[in-house]
Structure 1
Amino acid sequence: MGTHVIKMPDIGEGIAEVELSQWHVKVGDLVVEDQVLADVMTDKAMVDIPSPVHGKVIALGGQPGEVMAVGSVLISIEVEGAGNLKESAAPAPVAAQEPPAAPKVETVAESKPAAAAGPRPAPVCQGPMVAREADERPLASPAVRKHALDLGIQLRLVRGSGPAGRVLHEDLEAYLAQGQSNASAPAAAAYAQRHDEEHIQVIGMRRKIAQRMQDATQRAAHFSYVEEIDVTAIEELRAHLNEKHGASRGKLTLLPFLVRALVVALRDFPQMNARYDDEAQVITRLGAVHVGVATQSDVGLMVPVVRHAEARSLWDSAAEISRLANAARTGKASRDELSGSTITLTSLGALGGIVSTPVLNLPEVAIVGVNKIVERPMVIKGQVVIRKMMNLSSSFDHRVVDGMDAALFIQAIRGLIEQPATLFVE
């Protein structure tokens, strides 16, 4: 038997040290070639570190949250073969998730032929309940997490039956059926005093998100502007286009219409499509409109970028938004897909609330927030009618954008949305 020492690889881009975010193995585990050993966080991305060999883990080189230098010992693996010590850097790291610039990557490593090695780990038996570490965060959508919270279920105790162990709504129901949730406890227990505490270390993606958010709010002079928009006409147009072309071209959401409205409005307000280098005191206005679309994932908020939105049709934008959102949520977006935006669009969909105050995606100077659509009685030409209404809650960098310009910009978007034909008039 021999020992294979894997050193922290050179991630590139001049990075000298990275943060060890999470171990996927522990001492004593059997690992196989290309199995992910750990996640590390750079200033720009979460990166998977795969194993170059088959063997047994005998030592870990650090703890989650620890900053490690490139070239330091990451992990030691016992391998079959000669007894001499072998050293290597880990295989080319795989980008996992890039943190947002102020609010977003994992590509599958190339499969290699299996070399003679120790046994592969046995598959885990599925069931409604599983014991995870107290700080382990299982994969689940925001809706499933809210459902679990409403039911009083600790998500880490639920066995996930979805891809990569993702916890689904059905898994919560199976858990309840087994009588494992707090909901099955005696009614009196719901009123019992609790004195437990949970300490969660802020590391990895969550630490980067926190740092970037804090940096954005400290450096930029945020101000927000809210405008009410009647979306009845554009929703009717969207429904008509989906009925006529949905089967052949794909379904349209409201987002591609908003992207188009941004593109058209920016022609008259180019100062919104800009980046501000506050150290060099230089504002760069861009002709290309690269729209960042804030997307929630299991590891936090990510911002994939729809590049050259000015050159895309509604369906082209819709397809790209869908592709990028799926890549971000599944951790397969590339670094390039998560950087380079010039203005950001953020939406919580049906959970969008009435008003929000989005945080700027530095170094951008504008972010447009979309709130939920509600039906309300409105007075039009002296008549009370039911209309579909929505607020745009947007934020700007007051160092670069004046309040009047911000208001006029959002009102221009309002005019385009309320008269959707103007989106396509050149």
Structure 2
Amino acid sequence: MSKYIFNLPDIGEGIAEAEIVKWHIKVGDVVAEDDQLADVMTDKATVEMEAPVSGKIVAVAGEEGDIIAIGSMLVEIEVEGDVDTEKMEELEASGQDSGAPDQAGPDVVELEQVIENKEINYNKLEESAPQKDSEEPATPAPSAAPKTGSEKVLATPAVRQRARELGVDLTLVKAQGEHIRHSDLDAYLNYGSGQGYRPSGSSQKRDDEVIKVIGMRRKIAQNMAESKRNIPHFSYVDEIDMTELEDMRADLNANRGGRPKLTMLPLLIVAICKSLPEFPMLNAIYDDEAGIVTRHGAVHLGMATQTDQGLMVPVLKDAQDMNVWQLATEIGRLAAAARNGSAKPAELSGSTLTLTSLGPLGGIATTPVINRPEVAIIGPNKIVERPMIVDGEIQARKLMNLSISCDHRVVDGYDAASYVQALKHFLETPVLLFAD
């Protein structure tokens, strides 16, 4: 018997340390060569570490969430016979396969465009997996007896998610309008199922949970803390009439042929790119240590995307050179790559400006956190139909508040307000989006 110490190899240029995100083994386990040992995260990617030899695990470097230096022990393996030291050194020098990148962006929320039951919001960068109209709950409500047959249930995505979490079959909930709302779900929980009054809130008390902040969640926390600690934020909000742009989008989709269906996002990006040249201070990054602001000529637009691993920011490189159909295609490709873990590090870095939205939660206004070292972030809010006076008459118009947060060290309030007015002009006069 002999022991082989597997040190954490050099897994990237300039990387000095890595975080242990997940152990796939424990002390006492027997592993074969190439078995997965652990996932470690650097600033650039999540990397899978594989066993260089077969044997028994006798020691590991630490717990999940611990940070270890490159070259230090990751695991100690007891092997049969003598270890071929020369071969092992060659393996370590060659490093390990890096696997699929899994880099987190700042804590910015996903861009959504949901147009459902006359209520218009920003939807996800790509379609999420379809839900069944009627699901059998994982934990049925005490009196919930599933109905037979298949019934069409109309409900917003937020209501469907809440019902799944509560274990409520939506086919048992009576809607007061065209579709089930949170108020209908509340009424069912309080008075439904023939049980009379039920107290509000959860019927079962749950134990407290202690969750260690590691991996991507820790990266997000660090990025947000750095941004808020170093950048003096200010936000500006204005209202935009999106009626004409929504009508144009409907016409484009009706005549799109085999091209992808347009959400509002590609049109909004075109407007951003067309309005930026006169405001170069917004499409910039600030190296506060060197005291240098770099104003970029190209627009590399970061887009927040929700994934199973956390929030990520794929980047639309040279967005100013794409038309709406090309943007729609690239948005879908990048979103899919971010969610399935195939996005390359270059596709998750290098943004010069970020776009973020609360999606269906929308709200009246947002104050998004800047994606450091950028100096601005744009946050469209929910589109709602409201009465508006136009030429002395009350009309139903589709209105949206648009927020922008800026770094007050390099962007003045006047600049931010002027830029939003320029962006507003393009969005309210959509024919300009297709003019030279």
TM-score w.r.t. structure 1 length?
0.75
CA–CA distance in structure 2, aligned partners of residues 267 and 400 of structure 1 = 17
Matched pairs, number: 360
CA–CA distance in structure 1, aligned partners of residues 108 and 66 of structure 2 = 23
Once structures 1 and 2 are overlaid, which stretch shifts more, 68-77 or 407-416?
Answer: 68-77
Identity within the alignment, %? 51
- Paired letter, 1:24: H
Give the greater-gyration-radius structure (CA): 2
- Paired letter, 1:390: M
Aligned to 1:179: none
- Checking the alignment, whether the CA contact within 8 Å between 1:34 and 1:50 is kept in structure 2 is yes
CA–CA distance in structure 1, aligned partners of residues 307 and 318 of structure 2 = 24
Shift of 1:60: 2.9
- Match for 1:392 among 402, 407, 419? 402
- Checking the alignment, whether the CA contact within 8 Å between 1:47 and 1:94 is kept in structure 2 is yes
Aligned to 2:218: 207
Shift of 1:250: 1.0
Secondary structure (helix, strand or coil) at the match of 2:255 reads helix
CA–CA distance in structure 1, aligned partners of residues 98 and 5 of structure 2 = 16
Q: Which runs of 5+ in 2 are unaligned?
A: 110-136, 139-156, 168-192
Q: 1:191 to 1:285 in 2, by over 3 A?
A: closer
Q: How does 1:258-337 map to 2 (within 5 A)?
A: 258-337=268-347
CA–CA distance in structure 1, aligned partners of residues 201 and 354 of structure 2 = 43
1:147 aligns with 2:161: yes
Shift of 1:188: 8.3
CA–CA distance in structure 2, aligned partners of residues 284 and 22 of structure 1 = 38
CA–CA distance in structure 2, aligned partners of residues 145 and 39 of structure 1 = 35
CA–CA distance in structure 2, aligned partners of residues 22 and 146 of structure 1 = 32
- Checking the alignment, whether the CA contact within 8 Å between 2:107 and 2:369 is kept in structure 1 is yes
CA–CA distance in structure 2, aligned partners of residues 3 and 319 of structure 1 = 52
- Match for 2:358 among 348, 364, 370? 348
- Checking the alignment, whether the CA contact within 8 Å between 1:275 and 1:342 is kept in structure 2 is yes
- Checking the alignment, whether the CA contact within 8 Å between 2:314 and 2:334 is kept in structure 1 is yes
CA–CA distance in structure 2, aligned partners of residues 385 and 189 of structure 1 = 40
Shift of 1:302: 1.2
Shift of 1:353: 2.1
1:218 aligns with 2:232: no
Once structures 1 and 2 are overlaid, which stretch shifts more, 85-94 or 269-278?
Answer: 85-94
Aligned to 1:11: 11
Shift of 1:396: 0.5
**RMSD between superposed Cα atoms in Å:** 3.3
CA–CA distance in structure 1, aligned partners of residues 35 and 246 of structure 2 = 47
Secondary structure (helix, strand or coil) at the match of 2:225 reads helix
Q: Which digits, 9 at most, give the CA deviation of each residue in 1:68-114, with x for residues without a partner?
A: 111222234567x755476454622224321225759xxxxxxxxxx
Aligned to 1:180: none
Aligned to 1:47: 47
Q: How does 1:116-127 map to 2 (within 5 A)?
A: none
1:92 aligns with 2:103: no
- Match for 2:250 among 239, 251, 254? 239
1:416 aligns with 2:426: yes
Aligned to 2:411: 401
CA–CA distance in structure 2, aligned partners of residues 205 and 146 of structure 1 = 27
Q: 1:188 to 1:59 in 2, by over 3 A?
A: farther
Shift of 1:405: 1.0
- Checking the alignment, whether the CA contact within 8 Å between 2:301 and 2:354 is kept in structure 1 is yes
CA–CA distance in structure 2, aligned partners of residues 223 and 23 of structure 1 = 42
Shift of 1:351: 2.5
Q: 1:53 to 1:93 in 2, by over 3 A?
A: farther
CA–CA distance in structure 2, aligned partners of residues 304 and 60 of structure 1 = 34
CA–CA distance in structure 2, aligned partners of residues 82 and 315 of structure 1 = 62
TM-score w.r.t. structure 2 length?
0.74
Shift of 1:263: 0.7
Q: 1:270 to 1:297 in 2, by over 3 A?
A: same
Shift of 1:30: 6.4
CA–CA distance in structure 2, aligned partners of residues 387 and 50 of structure 1 = 58
